[in-house]
Amino acid sequence: MKSTAPRFYRLDSQYSTFFVDATGTGVPACRYWGPRLGPDADPECLSLLHQLARVPSGLDQPVRLSLFPTLGFGFWGHAAFEGNRRETHWAHEFQLTHIEYRDNHLSISLEDPIAKLALSLEFVMDTTTNVLKSRTRLTNRGDNAFDLRWCAAACLPLPAVRMELLVFQGAWTQEFQIQRILFPNTCWVRKNRRGRTSHDSFPGLMVGTHGFGADSGDLYAFHLGWSGNHHLLAESLKEGERQIQLGELLMPGEVILSPGESYTSPWAYACFARGGTNAVSRQLHQFVRQRILPTQVAKKTRKVMFNTWEAIYFDHDPAVLNLMAVKAADLGIELFVLDDGWFSQRSDDASALGDWDPDSQKYPEGLSTLIKRVQSLGMDFGLWLEPEMVNPDSNLYRRHPDWVLQLQDRPLPLARNQLVLDLSQAPVTAYLFDTLDRLLRRYPITYIKWDMNRDLCAAGHQGRAAYRRQTLAHYDLIDRLRAAHPGVEIETCASGGARVDYEILRRTERVWTSDCNDAFERHAIQQGFTLFFPPEIMGTHVGPAISHTSGRRLSLNFRAHTAFLGHFGIECDLRELDDNQLAELKTHIANHKQWRDLLRRGTYVRLTPADENRLAYGLVGPDRNRAIYLIVQLAKAKPNTSNLIRLSGLDPKQHYRLKLMRPLDPSVEKYLTNRKAWVETGLVANGQSLQEAGFALRLQFPETSVLLQVERE
Ligand code: DGJ
């Protein structure tokens, strides 16, 4: 339907309604976004009910929050847009020119005839998964340059009820740490300037009704699909309205639009759900599965992998690798990933990035011998690369010192002894494409771990800030490589999980979630990660007995359980495991293979144990015939707390057999009442009683866990 007549539009999904009021001459506004309204909902009435009261000492005609509030004419909050033409046209007022609506897709065209700018706002509601995506496009219609400083990808309203924010903090080996704070009376702002999504400021947040839980509360989730700099804000406005804005953070002078040029923002994603974090994650996971990830993730089994990093680091000895491959194959590993250290002169992290030829000392015949051995053992071969980086101590840098991001006559700060290649330069990307393409043609590599181990600073291209260009050129490089080698899977890694978002996931199949292989710390990371991302892309490895990043010692059972409900891998020196441990690990891998189909299709369910030192979550199959839950005792149970667990996600009308998966931690087995039933015969119970009454299960020791397998009778 096309129309220029002022009117109301509604975007509906199964669960929600987003009402847009375009009755005025300016920027339309969202007058309702929440649970789906019936067909009789009266948009005019909704709009009228939300008229702003005139505030004393305010404008005679208060300015309401729109879908793109601007600066200069009485909107007192953060504007969705900032920019100017030399010293003028810093204040803007857009007029509605055209609206197009078709199948839950709304395109709003506007212009500011004085500032000579055209704007288009796009909203698409995904009917089945309930995710609303939006983006903005700004065009300079003037005859001189327009300096763009901020252009939100989305500016969305929230109901003014008592709410809490769920935001993320983090650091290396501590990504996706959840923080809950009251919705601010003023403004909460997050600006990420690291040139990647970062360890500390993941571009996503949730807003929920006060006290929301795993199954309770109304939640709104927001995410920016962009792997560079970002800007998020949550603001309470004086007039009682609330806004969330998400967009790309632009550096001064980074986007200067010449006459006729446009800027298109990244996509922002938003989702409303009633029913706590489980409901919102269910919708986001389905959306990522159906609309974001390359299709092969859904089609292919998630192969169990071995990664060499924490096993050998840079110490690549073909005899040791051969032994490791034999042991890995015997354990049931299906993909062998050769991490950093395989290329020429790479004996530590100080040199050689950029020179992507196998080291002739370590690999006299190239990688072929190792790859053939790996394949003959029935495994696929994967390779680590860090294409965007270069060490000053490398042949590439010696040949092309001008190929790095830099600002003339300014310092070039190193991080991990490396610099960043300037992907805006055509010869740089041509070199990278040819090098990677040659490797993929020469060797039967089915998997790339694409790493990126530093933040961007002094990120200049011919004097201008180049974060945006770098991000776009990086996407382009991967896209070209994927088109040339469609069968090769790519893992996104940036010193762990510092580059993860819905845009990079359009072109990658797995995330290296964190360099933290400490299973205890991992739980917090994985809890945060799975809020926005489904478990099948969450790389999670069984690390060494004593964690290399924390010094903590944990049992093999606990480490294997922690990796069980994600994309499972092993990352430790297999020579350190005795026969009993190898046998135990083999059983865990075999068990994982029996249940891993739930990863791609299952529903992720968080449980709420009475004991706050416990954590419990699971995966329930699409037809609710099978489910698997992990119950973790992180610290000793608080005195006088019940060890009750209620299982949600099952069919209340069905009967299920529950069994604890073997191998069990000896301490768990020791304190088990009714051991025979829990471990051998299984216990049969009805879904409703499991949900409403639950069951008691004691885990006496801290840092122990059990996997509970549940199958319909
Ligand atoms: C950082 C990654 O996160 C690690 O897993 C490993 O690949 C190293 N880089 C290699 O340098």
φ, ψ for residue 509, nearest 5 deg: -105, -10
Residues at CB less than 6 angstroms from ligand 1: 309, 339-340, 384, 451, 453, 493, 495-496, 512, 515
What's the whole-number mean pLDDT along residues 225-252? 96
Sign of CA dihedral 409, 414, 419, 424: negative
Residue 531 Cα to ligand 1 midpoint, Å, equals 24
pLDDT at 206: 98
Whether 60 is catalytic is: no
Percentage with pLDDT > 70 across the chain: 99
Q: Is 80 exceeded by the pLDDT of residue 47?
A: no
Choose among 152, 293, 309, 284: nearest CA to 220. Answer: 284
Q: Is 60 exceeded by the pLDDT of residue 4?
A: no
Sign of CA dihedral 591, 592, 597, 603: positive
Helix, strand or coil, per DSSP, at residue 34: strand
Mean pLDDT of the chain: 96
The residue whose CA is least distant from atom 6 of ligand 1 is 309
Count of other CB atoms within 10 angstroms of residue 576 = 11
Residue 53 Cα to ligand 1 midpoint, Å, equals 56
pLDDT digits (tens, 9 = 90+) for 319-338: 999 999 999 999 999 999 99
Two tokens, residue 273: 């759900």
Q: Is 90 exceeded by the pLDDT of residue 44?
A: no
Residue 213 Cα to ligand 1 midpoint, Å, equals 35
What's the whole-number mean pLDDT along residues 9-13? 95
Percentage with pLDDT > 90 across the chain: 92
End-to-end CA distance of the chain: 51
5 — pLDDT class (breaks 50, 70, 90): low
Residue 170 Cα to ligand 1 midpoint, Å, equals 18
pLDDT digits (tens, 9 = 90+) for 557-567: 999 999 999 99
Ligand 1 pocket test, candidate residues 307, 493, 548, 572, most atoms within 8 A of CB: 493
Choose among 249, 256, 199: nearest CA to 224. Answer: 249
Dist CA 384 CA 338 (whole Å):
6
Residue 572 Cα to ligand 1 midpoint, Å, equals 14
Ligand 1 atom closest to 495 (CA): 3
Ligand 1 atom closest to 349 (CA): 11
* CB proximity list for 639: less than 8 A, separation 6 or greater: none
Cβ–Cβ under 8 Å, residues 422 and 463: no
Cβ–Cβ under 8 Å, residues 165 and 180: yes
Q: Is 70 exceeded by the pLDDT of residue 528?
A: yes
Ligand 1 pocket test, candidate residues 174, 196, 309, most atoms within 8 A of CB: 309
Q: What DSSP string describes 422-485?
A: -TTSHHHHHHHHHHHHHHHHHS---EEEE---S---S-EETTEE-HHHHHHHHHHHHHHHHHH-
Three-class DSSP labels, 434-452: HHHHHHHHHCCCCEEEECC
Ligand 1 pocket test, candidate residues 196, 339, 416, 547, most atoms within 8 A of CB: 339
Choose among 94, 104, 106, 103: nearest CA to 3. Answer: 106
Dist CA 500 CA 3 (whole Å):
39
Which is more confident, 159 or 550? 550
The residue whose CA is least distant from atom 9 of ligand 1 is 495
What's the whole-number mean pLDDT along residues 232-236? 97
297 — pLDDT class (breaks 50, 70, 90): confident
Three-class DSSP labels, 127-174: CCCCEEEEEEEEEECCCCCEEEEEECCEEEEECCCCEEEEEEECCCCC
Whether 437 is catalytic is: no
Q: Is 50 exceeded by the pLDDT of residue 273?
A: yes
The residue whose CA is least distant from atom 3 of ligand 1 is 495
The residue whose CA is least distant from atom 1 of ligand 1 is 495
Residue 417 Cα to ligand 1 midpoint, Å, equals 14
Ligand 1 atom closest to 384 (CA): 7
pLDDT digits (tens, 9 = 90+) for 365-414: 999 999 999 999 999 999 999 999 999 999 999 999 999 999 999 999 99
Q: Which of 340, 355, 451, 518 is catalytic?
A: 451
The residue whose CA is least distant from atom 2 of ligand 1 is 495
Q: Which of 515, 518, 611, 665 is catalytic?
A: 515
What's the whole-number mean pLDDT along residues 483-492? 97
Using only C-alpha atoms, what is the Rg of the chain? 27
Dist CA 285 CA 287 (whole Å):
5
Dist CA 269 CA 274 (whole Å):
17
613 — pLDDT class (breaks 50, 70, 90): very high
Dist CA 94 CA 70 (whole Å):
8
